[in-house]
Chains A and B, each alone.
Chain A
Amino acid sequence: MDDVLTTAKSCRHYAMCKIDFLNSGICPSGPERGYDSFYPQGRMALYAALAEGRTPVTRGVVEVAESCDLCGKCDYQCYFVTEMRPTRVMAALKDFVARHIRSGGTVERAAEDSLLKEIRAIVGEEWAENDRGIAAAYSRDPGPLTQPRTPAYVVLPGTRGEVSALLRLLHEKGIPWSVRGNGSQNMGLVLSEGAVIDLCRMKDIVFDEKNWVVRVGAGVSAFEAQREAVRRGYRVNVAEPAALVCANVVCSGIFSTFMPSYGVAAGNFVDADFVARDGSLFSLSEKTAPNLFAFRPTDQESPGICTGLSLKLHPTTPDESGILIPFASREEALRFIKDCSIRRIGLAISLLGPEYASVFLAPTKRLAAEVKDVFTEKLGIPYLVLLIGDAYAIRSVAEMGRPAFDQRLFRAIALGLPSLRSAPWLELLDRISADEPYSYLKIKSFAEMAEVALAPSPKQLCRDVDPDLRPFFERLFARPEMTDLVWLSMFRILSARMGREKQFSVNIVFLPLEEKLIGEIIEEFRQVADRHRLKHDLGFITPIDEGKRCLLEYDYFFDQNDPDEIARTRRAAQDAGAVIEAYSSRLGTIRWIRHVVNQGVSRSENLLYT
Chain B
Amino acid sequence: MRERANGGRPRTFILTGATGFLGGHLMAALLERGDRLVVLGRASKGMPLRERISRYLDWLGQADRSDQVETAESDFLRPFCGLSAARYEALRSRALPIIHSASDTRFSELKRREIVEANVHGLKGILELAGDSRAPFFHYISTAYAAGIGQTRCPERVEVSGAFANVYEESKAQAEQNVIAACRRRKIPYTLIRPSIVYGDSRTGRSTRFNALYFHVRSLQLIRDIYLNDIRTNDGRKSREHGAALDENGILHLPLRVILPRRGSLNLVPIDYFVSATLAILDEPKEGFIYHLTSPHSKDLEELAAYCESFLKIKGIEFRYGPPNGEPVSPPEALLNRFIESYRPYLADARHFERDHTDQATGGLPVPELTYENFKRCVDYAVSVGWDAGHVS
A binding-site residues for B, Cβ under 8 Å: 424-425, 427-428, 432, 434-436, 439-440, 442-446, 448-449, 451-453, 455
Contacts and interface: CB of A to CB of B under 8 A. Distances in A.
Nearest to A428: B222
Contacts of B218: 428
A443 B106 contact: no
Nearest to A444: B334
Contacts of B329: 444-445
Contacts of A427: 387
B331 A428 contact: no
Given A439-B338, A444-B329, A449 B108 contact: no
Contacts of A440: 338
A435 B222 contact: no
Interface residues on B, range: 20 to 34
B33 interface: no
Interface string B227-266: 1011001100011001000000000000000000000000
B331 A449 contact: yes
A425 B331 contact: no
A455 B111 CA distance: 35
B334 A446 contact: yes
Contact of A452 (B107, B230, B339, B387): B230
Contacts, number: 63
B332 interface: yes
B174 interface: no
A451 B338 CA distance: 17
A428 B219 contact: yes
Contacts of A446: 331, 334-335
B225 A424 contact: yes
A427 B215 CA distance: 12
Given A432-B338, A440-B338, A449 B219 contact: no
B233 A455 contact: yes
B338 A445 contact: no
A428 B216 CA distance: 11
Contacts of A435: 106-108, 110-111, 342
Given A432-B338, A434-B106, 12 more contacts: A425-B223, A428-B219, A432-B339, A432-B341, A435-B106, A435-B111, A443-B335, A444-B334, A446-B331, A449-B332, A452-B226, A455-B233
Contacts of A439: 338
A406 to B, nearest CB: 14
A443 B226 contact: no
Interface centre among A436, A444, A446 (most CB of B within 10 A): A444
Interface of B is mostly: helix
28 contacts: A424-B222, A424-B225, A425-B223, A428-B218, A428-B339, A432-B338, A432-B339, A432-B341, A434-B106, A435-B107, A435-B342, A436-B108, A436-B110, A439-B338, A442-B338, A443-B334, A443-B337, A444-B329, A444-B334, A445-B330, A446-B331, A448-B331, A449-B332, A449-B335, A452-B227, A452-B239, A453-B230, A455-B234
Contacts of B331: 445-446, 448-449, 452
Give 10 closest A-B pairs by Cβ, nearest first.
Answer: A435-B108, A449-B331, A445-B331, A452-B238, A448-B331, A453-B226, A425-B222, A455-B234, A443-B338, A444-B334
A424 B223 CA distance: 10
B136 to A, nearest CB: 38
A440 B334 CA distance: 10
Contacts of A424: 222, 225
Nearest to A419: B229
A448 B239 CA distance: 11
A604 B107 CA distance: 50
A452 B226 CA distance: 7
Interface centre among A435, A436, A439 (most CB of B within 10 A): A435
B222 A455 contact: no
Contacts of B339: 428, 432
A452 B241 CA distance: 10
Contacts of A448: 238, 331
Contacts of B337: 443
A565 B155 CA distance: 74
Contact of B238 (A425, A444, A451): A451
A118 B107 CA distance: 83
Interface string B328-362: 01111011011101100000000000000000000
Contacts of A444: 329, 334
B111 A449 contact: no
B334 A452 contact: no
Interface string B44-65: 0000000000000000000000
A453 B331 CA distance: 11
A528 to B, nearest CB: 28
Contacts of B238: 448, 451-452, 455
Contacts of B387: 427
